[in-house]
Structure 1
Amino acid sequence: MKKFEANTLEEVYEIASNEFNCSIIDLEIVIAQQPSKGFLGIGKKTAIITAQLKRKQKTENRKYRETKYRKNNINIEDVSQKIANSNISEVKTQKKSSFKVPNVEGKEQIFNNFYTETNQKDEISKIVIKKDKEQIIEEVKNDVNYLFQNTCYEIDEVEVAFYDEETLYVEFNGKDSALLIGKEGYRYKALSYILFNWINEKYGLMLRLEVAEFLKNQEEAIYNYLAPVIETIKETGTYKTKPLDGILVHIALKRLREEFPNKYVAVKTNVRGDKYVLVNEYRSNQ
């Protein structure tokens, strides 16, 4: 077992996985000391763990190294060329096939769909959900809990319920649940993408994901920002919000559309790629 130390559990897990060159789930980890901020810096503690590769992973790594050493005379350029030729052959085969691959939306577009717009409601209404609500809740709860039960994170049993007729509410809580959010919410977005892709494909439902009150806090922050904005729109009839990042732009869009159903409210992107919400008197018919 090797010992690792960092300011947070997230950092020390990453250090350990980099040291062993594997995923966290392939490690046996023992937390020797929980991190603590202390009070005014007094009593501050770092995160300390001991970790080692799981037995199965050790065997697989040993086999990989032996195979690698036996085949060290292989020309990398030859292998690369074979892979390239193989990919070209697969592409040609797919073109000849009569099977049509469905168009898959990009990750950003799927994330945009978490906040339902008018045309999305029409599409969802066409999907027939054969299973009743209780069965869907039970299946999703069991599958999500099974997915996270063997991770190194201490997470309570995931809560699942219907937020409305078209949206499933999934909530993560527990000691390490905040680690699922990540810096600037990048892990939250990734988790949302994965769960939405599965839930929407299998049940035809939208997703509202809550992780350690992250969504609640984001909504409260944007609502506070929008309060004077709404008053300005009522006086002038138009407004352009400041650039908003990630989930904030979608929360703002939903809130302003609720407040001004007869105005044109849409997400726009400036030349730098920043997103903002535009409100004006023109109401699009499309």
Structure 2
Amino acid sequence: MKKFEAKCLEEVYELATADFKCSITELDIDVIQQPSKGFLGFGKKTAIIKVCYKNDCNKYEKKSTKHTFRKKDINIEEVSTRIENSNKNDQKAKNTNKTKEKTILNEVPKDTSKNKIFENFYNEEKTQTEMSSIVVKKSKEEIINEIRIGIDSLFKNTCYSIDNIKIDFYDEETLYIEFTGKDCALLIGKEGYRYKALSYILFNWINEKYGLMLRLEVAEFLKNQEASIYAYLEPVIEIIKEKGTFKTKPLDGILVHIALKKLREEFPNKYVAVKTNVRGDKYVLVNEYRSKEQ
């Protein structure tokens, strides 16, 4: 008889029929050991059977050897070597991929557009000198007409009833836009979120194309915001005069721009700049050092 071993009876039967090249019904099978999963890996047993052709076991036994066939003859040292080599190859591949990713990231230019937009909005000192070199100069009438056409196109299909959109120059570096009409207050939104979005869109367009700052008025929202921030800054200005330095509370949207402009007017010889805290809130910092940000 010939002995076979596998982890379950089904597999060990397959080994036997493959070796004898016949149907299992033509074989005489003696189960030597039933398979067992054990408990937590302990007591695990494989399936072992002895097999020969029916009515011919003695004849086959003489010709057969005592070798026990297993599903796989495993060399532990060879397997360990293969696993070790495979792990080394995987680590090399990971290191290669990381190197490629770093190379690609270094080659791709960083997207600093948002930071530049913010700096252009809140730092007026360099804005005009930088933009004047790349913006095609146009007359005030041309600029006003182009912006009016663009804004009319933006709002022509909306449901808001807006009587008139006033566009004019507030000063040489700032464009003034005012929305009026019975529905214009709806453009402000809860806590001014629509106003902020509209201001952001218009500023990005006007500043990039014409190199101008923006004052946006919607249903006296800007006027009221300026009044509230001026009231807040009155005692702040006195504190700065006494101590020489101050950090405002976190200010939202247009308020931080209004505070920045007001404090720069009050303290032209101090360092006045917009900063961001760890939560992403913006505030205005005033101190004695009249230096540029690194």
Q: CA deviation at 1:109?
A: 5.4
Pairing partner for 2:141 from 134, 137, 140: 134
Aligned residue in 1 for 2:178: 171
Q: CA deviation at 1:256?
A: 0.6
In structure 2, what residue type is equivalent to 1:213?
E
Alignment of 1:262 with 2:277, yes or no, is no
Note the residue ranges of structure 1 that are not aligned, 5 or more in a row. 1-94
Aligned residue in 2 for 1:206: 213
Q: CA deviation at 1:174?
A: 0.8
**Cα separation, partners in 2 of 1:109 and 1:155, compared to 1, 3 Å:** farther
Q: CA deviation at 1:261?
A: 0.9
**Cα separation, partners in 2 of 1:128 and 1:277, compared to 1, 3 Å:** closer
Structure of greater Rg: 2
Percent identity, aligned pairs only, is 73
Aligned equivalents of 1:201, 1:238: Cα separation in 2: 34
Do the aligned residues in 2 keep the contact of 1:145 with 1:157 (CA within 8 Å)? no
Do the aligned residues in 2 keep the contact of 1:155 with 1:176 (CA within 8 Å)? yes
Aligned partner of residue 289 in structure 2, secondary structure: coil
Q: CA deviation at 1:162?
A: 0.9
* Residue pairs, 1:83-122, within 5 angstroms: 105-106=113-114, 110=117, 113-122=120-129
Aligned partner of residue 164 in structure 2, secondary structure: coil
In structure 1, what residue type is equivalent to 2:209?
K
* Residue pairs, 1:1-286, within 5 angstroms: 105-106=113-114, 110=117, 113-285=120-292
**Cα separation, partners in 2 of 1:218 and 1:201, compared to 1, 3 Å:** same
Q: CA deviation at 1:182?
A: 1.3
Aligned partner of residue 162 in structure 1, secondary structure: strand
Q: CA deviation at 1:158?
A: 0.7
In structure 2, what residue type is equivalent to 1:105?
S
Q: CA deviation at 1:227?
A: 0.8
TM-score by length of 1: 0.59
Q: Deviations over 1:21-54 (max 9, x none)?
A: xxxxxxxxxxxxxxxxxxxxxxxxxxxxxxxxxx
In structure 2, what residue type is equivalent to 1:218?
Q
Note the residue ranges of structure 2 that are not aligned, 5 or more in a row. 1-103
Aligned residue pairs total: 187
Do the aligned residues in 1 keep the contact of 2:122 with 2:274 (CA within 8 Å)? no
Q: CA deviation at 1:128?
A: 4.2
Aligned partner of residue 158 in structure 1, secondary structure: strand
Aligned partner of residue 113 in structure 1, secondary structure: helix
In structure 1, what residue type is equivalent to 2:190?
K
Q: CA deviation at 1:285?
A: 4.3
TM-score by length of 2: 0.58
